[in-house]
Structure 1
Amino acid sequence: MPLLAKNKSQKAVDEDFQLPVLQDAGPSLRKGKQINSVVLNRWQSFWAMGRIRWHLFLLIAGRLHHPLKAMQAMRTLIQTRRKFLGDSALSKVVKVGERYYYEYNTPGWPSQAFDAYHLAELSRIAPIQEKPFYLKNVIVAVTKKCALRCEHCFEWDALNGKETLTVANLQKIVQQFQDLGVGQLQFSGGEPLLRMPALLTLLKTAQPSTDFWVLTSGHLLTLANAQSLKEAGLTGVTISLDHVDPKIHNQFRGFAAAYDWVVEAANNAHQVGLVVALSLCATKSFISEENLFRYAELARQLGAAFIQVLEPRPVGHYTGQEVAITIEQQKLLEEFYTNLNYHPAFQHLPMVVYYDFQRRRAGCAAAADRHVYVDTDGRLHACPFCQKPTGKFQINDFQATLASLRLGGCPVV
């Protein structure tokens, strides 16, 4: 089954892209409820994007006070998006609750976070406010604790050590980033749900100008916890799922119930109205056309809006190992990314975010340009895989530390 179908009729394309039925996905999936896809069809997506673009035009025109300048700014924003994400026009939108999402790290619309993020991006083109380095995404590791022993864990050396960040520390970190401007803030770990009271406090005391997500193995995302997080202000959950075969995923995660946690967590998150994403560490042994499409279909069945694809890095538990994927495997992932995001035959499947594809196209957007990572000791890193801290959140001049991180760039590029 070819990944790219060119110069064919829609019927022929549909026949080429018949997806496998997951008869062997395991008893865990069959125990979960079937969830309707949150991805809008092509016409619904078209009209949703039309409304979003019109809103953006009015928002920009209101700041630039000139319709022609607003149109040019819109075109520049679109060109910037295509520089990182690909040359095709947006054609897929998901709807969860009353909000629409067309990119994993972009806040949902309508929201204060959506407007603030896009005005900040506009400021990079035509300065209209004093936040030229408003951050798109910040990951904050809130705990060292975790029940799993994941094969790829980048916080391996800190895992299950003594906690150093108090709730007050974490509140200060969130406040500092929100004061500077951040569209999306993700809580990670360890397993962040092991600090449920802290998460609820952080969400309830934060400003409403940011979308908040939790990065989780699914452990402890019960229906009650999902409901509490939603009511406190959580936008979505990214659940780690590293294989379509339950036994292999459990082995990768070092825990016999890991796959069941994923299924239960996705069901619970969907039930309370949280956006669901699945995160895949695409190892050399996993990457194949069959596995990728089985994964996409499983993600659809679990109600996922997004699939996050991460290439393995020789850090943390992978230190000293030959884990880099081949050029051919990179191309397979890039075609998977392009097809699921833009090809009509895959309109019903979740969208894909693939950071290494973006980095190879346009350079790294981390290192406090648009993304930054805070580890379990409050140290700032260009990204989770760099393992080269620049400073701590307690420093007097937080902006100067971010500027230094930005100047140093990403050491893995």
Structure 2
Amino acid sequence: MPMETNLIADITYVDAPAGPPVALPTLPPTVLTSRLRRGLLTGLFHLVEARLLWRFMRTPARVRLAIERVNELKRVYYGELRVRKIARVAGRYYREYQTPGWPGAAYDAYVATTVNRLVPFRGDAETLNLVFLAITKKCPLACEHCFEWDALNQKESLTRDDIRAMVAAFQARHVTQIFFSGGEPMLRVNDLVAVVADARPGTDFWVITSGFNFTRENAGRLRQAGFTGVTISLDHHEPARHNAFRGSPQAYENAVRAAAHAHEAGLVVNLSLCATQEFTTEANLMAYARLARQLGVTFIQILEPRAVGHYAGKPVDLSPAQLTLLEAFYVALNFGPQYLDWPLVHYYGYHQRRMGCGGAADRFLYVDTDGDLHACPFCQKKSGSALGGNLDEALAAMKNRGCHAFAGATM
């Protein structure tokens, strides 16, 4: 099948004007506000996971061992913090951005993989949970931090059949979340819809977008095809600053409209923030959180800037004080009693510094726009291909090397 026709010519905005004022909708929250309901659902999650453990372990002794090791994993991951926040979207419940929603085959498969790495029961060593799959080199923006900068707007490599084959290969290896990225993946929305409509159950599919081409119609098409959610890049609560960061006078409006369309369609909405040195202040973080709450989103994802791609060779690392501030924000928004009805915050750096990196095919990996495998989007070094060759050998070699920057003790 031929690749979808490009929707745009190659565009680069150098000095992006602020653009017109953007009307912000106020959308219903997805994070549950009822304390009673949260308590009942927390109990239900315990029952569901106990049932799954019995199905996997088969004997009381193995069930007890699995419970002990799962609880230890939670202690390492959360410390003394206790997860209480739960969101509901389209009849499914979510507690973590990188965990599938329940009920669903993807949630059961995620629990199976997690338990299997602690108390093996299914005869394989697969631990890969999620894949970031870049499907296009094309993008209308010129983002300040773009990690695919050197590949942007080059000739496309991947056909629809290539994407379909990679999805099938990762599904066969128990991958429970696939995030389509780019470039701007919504330029290939027809391919996204076709591939996910043909995929088998057991995986939650997401698209990572700037909001470009994320119309009401396309949001509905994604939902109907089987998509779970959308991650929308929004890097500032102030329109002019986001537009400048993204190199487009329409970037902020596109992102806000995409959030509204996704919310209406029943897709889970995650706002993704690159927390730059300039942005990372308490005032900006709280203003961003208030905006996310107004837009009714489920998750806020915080990414730390890395000196790769368009940032290569630049001193973009956050200061120790700024990292401490981001960690305090993560803890307050997720576990503070006054924020129980605010969006959940996903901050991978918080856990990465405590547990080591889960990339390099341990828990996740990145596939670039040529189908090549990398440890993660920010730690790119080709390690085989997801197309042709021996994928199992490539994954095993990548997992064996691990991540050189965060070689902590993972479980």
Structure 2 Cα separation of the partners of residues 390 and 345 of structure 1: 45
Does 2:30 correspond to 1:38?
A: yes
Partner of residue 7, structure 2: none
Offset at residue 87 of structure 1 (A): 3.2
State how 1:289-304 maps to structure 2 within 5 Å: 289-304=282-297
Could you say what secondary structure the match of 1:276 adopts? strand
Structure 2 Cα separation of the partners of residues 282 and 85 of structure 1: 22
Partner of residue 312, structure 1: 305
Does 2:266 correspond to 1:273?
A: yes
Partner of residue 183, structure 2: 190
Q: Contact between 1:156 and 1:317, CA under 8 Å: does it hold in 2?
A: yes
Partner of residue 130, structure 1: 123
Q: 1:203 aligns with which of 174, 183, 196?
A: 196
TM-score scaled by structure 1? 0.91
Counterpart residue type for residue 219 of structure 2: A
Structure 2 Cα separation of the partners of residues 55 and 181 of structure 1: 20
Does 2:214 correspond to 1:221?
A: yes
Q: Contact between 2:113 and 2:129, CA under 8 Å: does it hold in 1?
A: no
Counterpart residue type for residue 55 of structure 2: G
Q: Contact between 1:280 and 1:307, CA under 8 Å: does it hold in 2?
A: yes
Partner of residue 6, structure 1: none
Answer with 386-395 or 212-221: which moved more. Answer: 386-395
Q: Contact between 1:284 and 1:323, CA under 8 Å: does it hold in 2?
A: yes
Could you say what secondary structure the match of 2:232 adopts? strand
Q: Contact between 1:131 and 1:181, CA under 8 Å: does it hold in 2?
A: no
Structure 2 Cα separation of the partners of residues 265 and 148 of structure 1: 16
Answer with 294-303 or 252-261: which moved more. Answer: 294-303
Could you say what secondary structure the match of 1:124 adopts? helix
Structure 2 Cα separation of the partners of residues 71 and 228 of structure 1: 44
Offset at residue 341 of structure 1 (A): 1.1
Q: Contact between 1:142 and 1:376, CA under 8 Å: does it hold in 2?
A: yes
Offset at residue 85 of structure 1 (A): 4.1
Does 2:47 correspond to 1:54?
A: yes
Partner of residue 143, structure 1: 136
Answer with 128-137 or 32-41: which moved more. Answer: 128-137
Offset at residue 33 of structure 1 (A): 2.7
Does 2:384 correspond to 1:391?
A: yes
Partner of residue 20, structure 1: none
Q: 2:83 aligns with which of 76, 80, 90?
A: 90
**Structure 1: unaligned runs, 5 residues or longer:** 1-25
Structure 2 Cα separation of the partners of residues 86 and 285 of structure 1: 30
Does 2:99 correspond to 1:106?
A: yes
Could you say what secondary structure the match of 1:139 adopts? strand
Partner of residue 351, structure 1: 344
Partner of residue 152, structure 2: 159
CA deviation string 1:369-402 (max 9, x = no partner): 0010000111100000012111111232111100
Structure 2 Cα separation of the partners of residues 48 and 59 of structure 1: 16
Could you say what secondary structure the match of 2:172 adopts? helix
Offset at residue 50 of structure 1 (A): 1.1
- Identity across aligned pairs (percent)? 46
Counterpart residue type for residue 332 of structure 1: L
Counterpart residue type for residue 254 of structure 2: W
TM-score scaled by structure 2? 0.91
Q: Contact between 2:132 and 2:179, CA under 8 Å: does it hold in 1?
A: yes
Partner of residue 9, structure 1: none
Q: Contact between 2:117 and 2:127, CA under 8 Å: does it hold in 1?
A: no
Structure 1 Cα separation of the partners of residues 56 and 126 of structure 2: 18
Offset at residue 304 of structure 1 (A): 1.1
Q: Contact between 2:300 and 2:346, CA under 8 Å: does it hold in 1?
A: yes
Compute the RMSD of aligned alpha carbons: 1.3
Counterpart residue type for residue 405 of structure 1: M
Could you say what secondary structure the match of 1:384 adopts? coil
Partner of residue 7, structure 1: none
Could you say what secondary structure the match of 1:271 adopts? helix
Offset at residue 197 of structure 1 (A): 1.1
Q: Contact between 1:120 and 1:129, CA under 8 Å: does it hold in 2?
A: no
Structure 2 Cα separation of the partners of residues 27 and 78 of structure 1: 49
Counterpart residue type for residue 37 of structure 1: P
Structure 2 Cα separation of the partners of residues 299 and 32 of structure 1: 11
Q: 1:76 aligns with which of 69, 83, 87?
A: 69
Structure 2 Cα separation of the partners of residues 171 and 86 of structure 1: 39
Partner of residue 112, structure 2: 119
**Structure 2: unaligned runs, 5 residues or longer:** 1-19, 407-411
Aligned residues: 386
Answer with 153-162 or 56-65: which moved more. Answer: 56-65
Offset at residue 86 of structure 1 (A): 4.2
CA deviation string 1:129-148 (max 9, x = no partner): 13432322110001000000
CA deviation string 1:26-63 (max 9, x = no partner): 941xx243111110123322221211110110111122
Could you say what secondary structure the match of 1:140 adopts? strand
Offset at residue 327 of structure 1 (A): 0.4
